[in-house]
Structure 1
Amino acid sequence: MSEEIEHVECLIIGSGPAGYTAAIYAARADLKPVMYTGMEPGGQLTQTTEVDNFPGYPAGVTGPDMMEDFRKQAERFGTDIRFGYVSSVDFSSLPHKVVVDEIKTITADTVIISTGATAKYLGLPSEQKYSGFGVSACAVCDGFFFKGQDVAIVGAGDTAAEEATYLAKLCKKVYMLVRRDEFRASKAMVHRVLNTPNIEVIYNTETKEVLGDGKTVTGVRVVNNETGVEQDLDVQGFFVAIGHKPNTDIFKGQLDMDETGYLKTVPGSTVTNVEGVFASGDVQDSYYRQAITAAGSGCMAALDAERYLAAKEHGVSATA
């Protein structure tokens, strides 16, 4: 008995702000989108307790509640939302082939990739325990909640330096924990950090444990790599800025990526190097990484897909 292959006009892979926004626009354009949520429906925002910087929520909203609102809106316009993960893809010919959960094959005229990126953490159990309760991987998202308090940030690159100076505007004191005896950041960013009076850089330092009272973070235990001496820093917030990993492994060899694995798109669009495949959100944005910018690029991806299909239908070149 041969396997039944399902064909769809628009397939959306991933279900964060980018995927859901793409679904809303694609459904309203009558593209009858089918979305596979991935193993974490709602994406990174489901790990966020409070979201205060997304327009339209004047009183703030929790990440899971906001993603539930996005889901309901996408479903209201007819998006077929399915729990499952895409295990492999074949973009070598049209229509594109996608395998779901390693067993089901779907062909699609257009594919919108919104698989996001995953923040890298240190891997400490205590860090995981207080994730969303004082531990964060996004200073721009969560720094406001620590106004006037003391915080620590781990990292030595440009992002860490930028986030440390951002936190310094809000917080009383920022401890910057650098593993080696020097930064990896550019000289301009290092200069900015070193000239910010309320940032204290602690070199040759590893984080041993995030301390807390069972509810929120109360401090961080660090150890000096050279001397082995431990000390506890009294902080209310602990920020991790050691990078993100885009969720693009299954697209390797099929789509153009930068050296860290982010999908490349034609500037000003969501168009990838493969006809009919579009990328939106954090999977192709290593710079802004905000819910609102992800949602905006999800809108762009749906519009790009709609225009691509319309051009194809009328025999016009579908390239951007």
Structure 2
Amino acid sequence: MIRHITPLRTRLVGLGARVQSKMVHHKVTIIGSGPAAHTAAIYLARAEMKPTLYEGMMANGIAAGGQLTTTTEIENFPGFPDALSGSELMERMRQQSAKFGTNIITETVSKVDLSSKPFKLWTEFNENSDPVTTDAIILATGASAKRMHLPGEETYWQRGISACAVCDGAVPIFRNKPLAVIGGGDSACEEAEFLTKYGSKVYILVRKDHFRASVIMQRRIEKNPNIIVLFNTVALEAKGDGKLLNVLRIKNVKTGVENDLEVNGLFYAIGHSPATGIVKGQVDEDETGYVQTVPGSSLTSVPGFFAAGDVQDSRYRQAVTSAGSGCIAALDAERYLTAQK
């Protein structure tokens, strides 16, 4: 069962007092609440940089802690041989951030101004007041997996439906069971191939009559006897016994024929949406909206503004890689701030 990261009463105490009526300045501000944000906070706090972290309040529709709070079981984060829930992992990270002195504020940053130094930011509670100023910002707001919102999806989310095969594919409920992936690009092909390590067979549902994936990925799929491609096919409904998914209602868009596909796992591979709205147009992004960083660093096109985690990583999107990039961002920010003295 997913646990609340912090009791709601505790996290709401003092919200009114934090509505800014006077100018407040932070040395370094972290925006986000996932592994990248808290790793950056831990490193900066230990370096006595007195970081302030805005963890948000249901920012992007997700509880503080990010996407991991929707994951019921994590087995691939180093240091935890026994599986733990995503919310428990994030609670531990949050406690560690606070232990070393991070100022954690449960407000959602609604606006950022990177046009001059110091940077300015506003939260949903002080949009009409003086902005908070800060010498450096680490953006670690993550990305949200695109979902299809099928009938039955909410019932079976994390009970057979997932948006990350690498994260959840090895979960026992999928072992030696038929699985399905929705998507027609490289990600869908990669996830399907990965899932063949665990499932008895894997269906790929492609809306069109062809893949968007690269030729090399298509050839690998064709050669894999455990992958069945269903072209011109869409999902209509997720069904099960009320506890776990066991059937996917599908439709052939050319013939109009509907039927039930028996699967115990459904994985979306239809892309992610990075949470970059507050800096849109102020920093360089790639064609899909991810913040562009200098390879091997967290540096962006705006000096003093750093990006970490899934907000700049469209490829790996793992808790451990996000944590690693949070460390990089903290070290980059520390060097930047030290050089400004």
- Does the TM-score normalized on the shorter chain lie above 0.5? yes
| Structure-1 separation of matches of 2:40 and 2:116 | 23
Q: Could you tell me which residue of structure 1 aligns to residue 69 of structure 2? A: 46
Pairwise CA distance, 1:31: 1.1
Give 1:317's aligned residue. none
CA drift at 1:3: 4.2
Once residues 311 and 80 of structure 1 are traced to their aligned partners in structure 2, the CA distance between those partners, rounded to angstroms, is 23
Tell me the residue number matched to 2:326: 298
Paired residue for 2:110? 87
Task: Map residues 208-227 of structure 1 onto 2, 5 A cutoff.
Answer: 208-227=236-255
- CA distance in 1 between counterparts of 2:105 and 2:128 reads 15
Instruction: Kindly provide the CA deviation profile for residues 133-152 of structure 1, in whole angstroms up to 9, marking residues without a partner as x.
Output: 11000000111112211101
Q: 2:162 aligns with which of 117, 136, 144?
A: 136
Please report how far the alpha carbon of residue 201 of structure 1 lies from its aligned counterpart in structure 2 after TM superposition.
0.4
1:222-241 Cα deviation digits (max 9, x unpaired): 01101111111111111000
* Structure 2 unmatched ranges of 5 or more: 1-19
Tell me, in whole angstroms, the C-alpha distance in 2 between the residues paired with 1:169 and 1:57: 22
Equivalence for 2:17 = none
Q: Out of 121, 132, 137, which is 1:111 matched to?
A: 137
CA spacing shift, 1:125–1:30, aligned 2, 3 Å: farther
CA shift, 1:29, in A, is: 0.8
Do 2:113 and 2:120's aligned partners in 1 also have CA atoms closer than 8 Å? yes
Partner of 1:58: 81
Superposition RMSD in Å: 1.1
1:123 offset after TM fit, Å? 1.6
Q: Which residue of 1 aligns with 2:317?
A: 289
1:4 to 2, 5, 22: 22
What is aligned with 2:306? Answer: 278
CA distance in 2, matches of 1:106, 1:131: 38
CA deviation string 1:8-55 (max 9, x = no partner): 011000000000111111111111111111222000000101000000
Distance 2:108 2:31 in 1: 8
1:144 alignment partner, SS class: coil
Report the residue type matching 2:78 in the other structure. P
SS in 1 for 2:294: coil
Please give the secondary structure, in 2, of the residue aligned with 1:140. Answer: helix
Poorly superposed stretches of 4+, deviation over 4 Å = none
Q: Secondary structure at the match of 1:30?
A: coil
Provide the C-alpha distance between the structure 2 equivalents of 1:135 and 1:175, rounded to a whole number of angstroms: 14
Aligned match for 1:147, one of 175, 191, 194:
175
SS in 1 for 2:338: helix
Secondary structure of the residue that 1:41 maps to in structure 2? coil
1:93-150 residue CA offsets vs partner (Å, 9 max, x unmatched) = 1100011113452101110000000000112241122111110000001111122111
**Residue 162 in 1 paired to residue 185 in 2?**
no
Structure 1 gap ranges (5+):
314-320
Following superposition of structure 1 onto structure 2, how do residues 10-49 of structure 1 map, counting pairs within 5 Å?
A: 10-38=28-56, 39=58, 40-49=63-72
